[in-house]
Amino acid sequence: MKKILNVFVICLLLQSFQCEKPIVEKSRDDYSNELRNNKQVILDYIASFPCDETTGCNFIAFGSKPCGGPWEYLIYSNAVDEAYLTEMVNTYNQLENSYNSEFEIFSDCAIVNPPEQVGCINGICTIIN
């Protein structure tokens, strides 16, 4: 009986010193869904601010290519809250960088140049060639 009690106490002690459950990493689908949702939120935010001659337009590097640099540049009206937009884009870029590292994503290493000129055409910020 004493042996059974000792075994029970040892098992109880081992249970109490167990490590916490391992942190479950995000799956590839989790990252993809979060990136897709965040991108749509950013695009919707930009689209909610039309431009005119007084506001003007600007652009911001968007995305994180595995080789470095952005995938594209988003064009937006200067009427947006630029600090808020920059924060959202930086968060997106960091998330995509984590995704690239976590899943060893690769891409071409082509450099995406920023637009030379942007302007407001019919209330929409556009790249002007």
Summarised one tens digit per residue, pLDDT across range 7-39 is: 555 555 556 555 554 555 889 999 999 999 999
| CA 38 to chain CA centroid, nearest Å | 7
Domain span holding position 34: 29-127
* Domain annotation covers residue 16: no
Distance CA 55, CA 49 (A): 10
CA distance linking residue 75 with residue 67, whole number of Å: 23
Q: How many distinct structural domains can be found in the chain? A: 1
This prediction has a pTM of 0.80
CA torsion through residues 29, 63, 85, 91, sign: positive
Which of 106, 120, 109 lies closest to 51 in space, CA to CA?
A: 120
pLDDT tens profile 42-76:
999 999 999 998 999 999 999 999 999 999 999 99
